[in-house]
Structure formats: C-alpha cells, structure tokens
Amino acid sequence: MSLFIIACIFIITVLYLISTVKKPSNFPPGPRRWPIVGNTFLIKKLSKDLGGQYKALIKLHQDYKSNIIGLKLGSDEYVVVFGRRLVQHVFTKDEFQGRPDGFFIRLRTMGTRKGITMTDGKLWHEQRKFAETQLKHLGFGTVKMENLIKDELEDILLSLGDYQEDISLNQKLSSSFLNVLWTIIGGKQFNKDADRLGALLNLLRERSKAFDMAGGLLNQLPWLRFIAPDYCGYTCIQSLNTKLFELFQDIISEHKKTITDETRDFIDAYLHEKDSSNPDTSTFTDEQLVALCLDFFIAGALTTSYTLDFAVMATTRHPEVQKKLHEEIDKVLKYKQMPSIEDKARLPYVEALLLESQRLQHVAPTAGPRRVLKDTSIDGYSIPKNTIVLLSLRSIHYDKEKWSDPEVFRPERFLTPDGNLIPDEGLCTFGLGKRRCPGEVLAKSFLFLAFTALFNRYKVTFPEGKEPNSAPGAGILLSPQPYTVNLRARGVNDS
C-alpha cells in the first residue's frame, strides 16, 4: 500500500474521530467527550459510584452550575434539563414532543416503531386518541373501574386474613393491579398464582434495573450485543419481549375466534376499528395492537406497585405517621370497610402521605427521552433538531427552595395548618402536556384504594431485625429494596 493511501486513511480517521467529539455550536455546557463513545462510560461510572443515573445527572448539574447540560452518548447528542421551569417548558412545547428512533427503541416493539409510548407523528396522534377514548368508554375514571379495583382488593385482604408474619406484599399488589388493567384491556384476569405471570413480573423487574432512561449501553453502543449480549442487556430484553409478544399474540388470537359485534374490552374495540378501516392507509394493524398491549403492560406492571411499595415502607418506617393515618381513617371508615374514591376528600392525611411518598421516592426520577423535532433553543443555548432531551424530575422534587428539607419524609408539607390538602402543583409525577400519562386516573385510584384499605385493616410493622434499606435500586425506575412486613388486624379504634 502506498504512503499516499496510508496518509489518506490516517487523515480520514483523524477527521472522523474529531467529528465525534465536536460539540454543536452554542451547545449547553457539559463534560469532555471521548471519540466514538462520547460520555457513555463517564455516565456509566458516575451512575455506579453514586447509585443511579439520576444522581449522576444531578452531580453534573451541580458541577457545571447550569440548569441545562449537554452530553454525547454513543452517536447521539443529549441535553438534560433541571428545575420546574425548564422541565415544564420541554413537557409542553410542540418541538419537544418527538421520541427517539434508535435500535433500543425499536427493539422493544419487535424491531419496528409501533405503540404509543415511543412513537410520534400521525401514528402516535391517531393511536393515542383512540386509546384514550376507548379506555374511557371501557371504564377508566368510572364506578366500573372502581368496582374492579375493590373486588381485587377484597380478594387480597381475604387471603391475608387477620395476621401475617414476615410476608412480602409486592407480588400480590403487582398481580392485583395487572388484573384490573387487563380486565379492561383483554377482558380476562391473569391467574395470580400462575408461574408464567410471576416469571414475566420478574423479567420486567430485571429490565427495569438493567437499563436507564437513556437506554444504557445497548442503546448507545448497540454493536455490543454481538460481543457481550448479557453485559449490555440484550439477552434480558430479547427474552422479555419474546415472552410478552407470545402472551399478547395468544390473547389477540383468542379474541379473533370469539369476537362479535359486542365490544367486551379494548382488544375487541381495536379489532373492530381495524376491520372498518382502509388497510392501505390505516395505522390499525395486528402488529400495532400487540405493541399497544406491550405499552400498557410495561407502563403499568411496575410503576404503580413500586409507588405503593414505597408508601407502605415509608409509613411502616415511621410509626408516628402510621398512628396519625389510623386516627384519620377511623374518623371516616368503619373497621374493615372498603374505601371509595369519594372518601378522598375526607381523608386529606392519606392523600398528603401518598403525595409525600411520591415526592421522596418518585419511581421515575428522570423523564424522557424526547426528540427535538426542529432546531430550537433553551435558556439561550442552541438545541439542534434530533437532539434527545432528558428531564430531571428529581431536581423538582428535591428543590430546597421549594421544600426546605427535601430529604425528610413529612406528609404535613402537603397540608394547611388546619389540615386541608394542599394541591400537588409542586410535583410532576405523571408528566405534563400532550404526553401526560394516560393511565394516571387508574394509577391514582388504585394507589388510594389499596393503601387506605390495607391500613384500615392492619397495623403494619417490619419483622424484628428486618427493616429494609431505604436506598432504592436504580435503573429505568427506582425500585424498592426487597422487604417483608408483619400484618396484625386492627380492632375498632385500635391504632
């Protein structure tokens, strides 16, 4: 090979490497980039050292003294915004309503871009509007949904009896929420004792821990799947997706065999819409239906049960809080009486406690990812089209100017001096704007009813010597440490 060719190859390589570390003009401040990998391994190291990606991002926010920082993760430009003003700006402005279209995003829906969680444009608009409309028709936010939740909770409380020692509630609570959700979506309940459901829930927990909101190594360096599939999480997510895909294919096939003009559930409604649409132009397909089911399952399986777990753990860890909780419940409900949604207004301490638990340990401390749909700016910095944006909700919920002592668990911060509930305008637990979580009404209803019913019936304590670590596990979601409790039935006025 001639020296000229070698020199050309060398120059081209150098220019390419330089291009991978060059920042866009007027880009937000951020750490030094390395060729090809950018800041990928810096974020991974900080996340490991500090206990989660959300803490790594907060550290950079503090180091650079900026409410917006710039990163490069793999081949993608990222910005992270902090504080309610900028987070609200990104949540609500149209130019930030896109979603990334990368390997990791497509992997979650069988190599295509389907569903509503990680899509945008015409597909997202049509499918989200249809989903919201049909879920309302099928009971979201109605007495029908409330009764489904109550029936599930009655079954759980009946199975627990008056006393349980060293019991794990997580599996029961997760299964209960899924049964409510899938009665609406698929018209049937999962068998709560089925090995398949237990395995799927475990896979979802593994997935939550294996990745972060930026997709982890698998998203940033997808070629790692060829040389280290276990290390980068490829094996985990492939196993999860295969099992979920097979499950929903089976359910949809059963519906097709028994479908009539009557609409029994969401899958029926979708199949009716698909059959009445023009197949050449319609976004309603079997693959899209499977992807929607995946979205519902992945979004609902863990977030609500983890949120409930954190609230139970916090209340159990603070006996004085549990005492106040029991005193308020006893003024409103009879012993073992199942609460109703209408009781919320008469139980402000219950509501304040749930809000404070979500502020202290919100299961999604980083929201996103959003893809910028056109060149724009934030706080004077230029943000190029297709930049990916992450939103630090942790920076809102731990803002010392707002909360003064954010590390402290204190439900009273959401109450007025005379005991009335203060609106949760300081929180951002379900997002804002057009992409606000469509399952919010179900999640809030389940949390209130399950939490109130549990503590109306039981005094809850940790087994002696088994109080769990309060530091959560970190990944896409914050997860509670494994824990068990003792449940002792309360008598009338026994708090």
Q: Does the annotation flag 437 for ligand binding?
A: yes
**How far is Cα 49 from Cα 42, in angstroms, rounded to an integer?**
11
Residues 6+ apart with CB under 8 A from 88: 428, 432
What does pTM read for this prediction?
0.90
Burial class (CB in 10 A: 0-12, 13-18, 19+), 295: buried
Q: Copy the structure tokens of residue 320.
A: 């004085």
CB 306 within 8 A of CB 442: no
Contact, 126 vs 283, CB < 8 A?
yes
Structural element, H or E, at residue 446? helix 440-457
Handedness of CA 40, 41, 42, 48 (dihedral sign): positive
Any idea what DSSP says for residue 295?
H
b/e code 112-148 from CB counts within 10 Å (16+ = b): ebbbbbbbbeebbebbbebbeebbeebbbeeeebbeb
Residue 300, pLDDT score: 75
Closest CA to 213 of 50, 73, 310: 73
User: Nearest 5 degrees, angle CA 248-CA 112-CA 275?
Assistant: 55
The answer to whether 225 and 234 have CB atoms below 8 angstroms apart is yes
Contact yes or no for 449/147 (Cβ under 8 A): no
Instruction: Find out whether 57 and 80 touch, Cβ atoms under 8 Å.
Output: yes
Number of residues assigned to the chain:
495
Please check whether the domain covering 3-489 is classified as CATH 3.90.550.10: no
Collapsing DSSP to helix, strand or coil, 166 comes out as strand
Instruction: Give domain limits for the chain.
Output: 3-489
Helix (H) or strand (E) holding 368: strand 366-371
Per-residue pLDDT tens listing for the chain (495 residues): 688 777 777 777 776 667 677 899 999 999 999 888 889 889 989 998 998 899 999 999 999 999 999 999 988 999 999 999 999 999 999 999 999 988 877 877 777 889 998 899 999 999 999 999 999 988 888 899 999 999 999 999 999 999 999 999 887 887 888 888 888 888 876 654 455 566 667 767 776 666 655 556 777 778 888 888 888 778 877 887 787 788 888 889 989 999 999 999 999 999 999 999 888 888 999 999 999 988 888 777 788 989 999 999 999 999 999 999 999 999 999 999 999 999 999 999 999 999 999 999 999 999 979 999 999 999 999 999 999 999 999 999 999 999 999 999 999 999 999 999 998 767 888 888 899 888 889 999 999 999 999 999 999 999 999 999 888 887 788 889 889 999 999 974 454
Tell me how far apart the alpha carbons of residues 29 and 26 are, in angstroms, rounded to a whole number: 9
Identify whether the C-beta of residue 94 lies closer than 8 Å to the C-beta of residue 374.
no
Looking at the DSSP bridge assignments, the partners of residue 146 are: none
Q: Cα(95)–Cα(376) distance, rounded to whole angstroms?
A: 8
Q: How far apart are CA 191 and CA 193, in angstroms?
A: 5
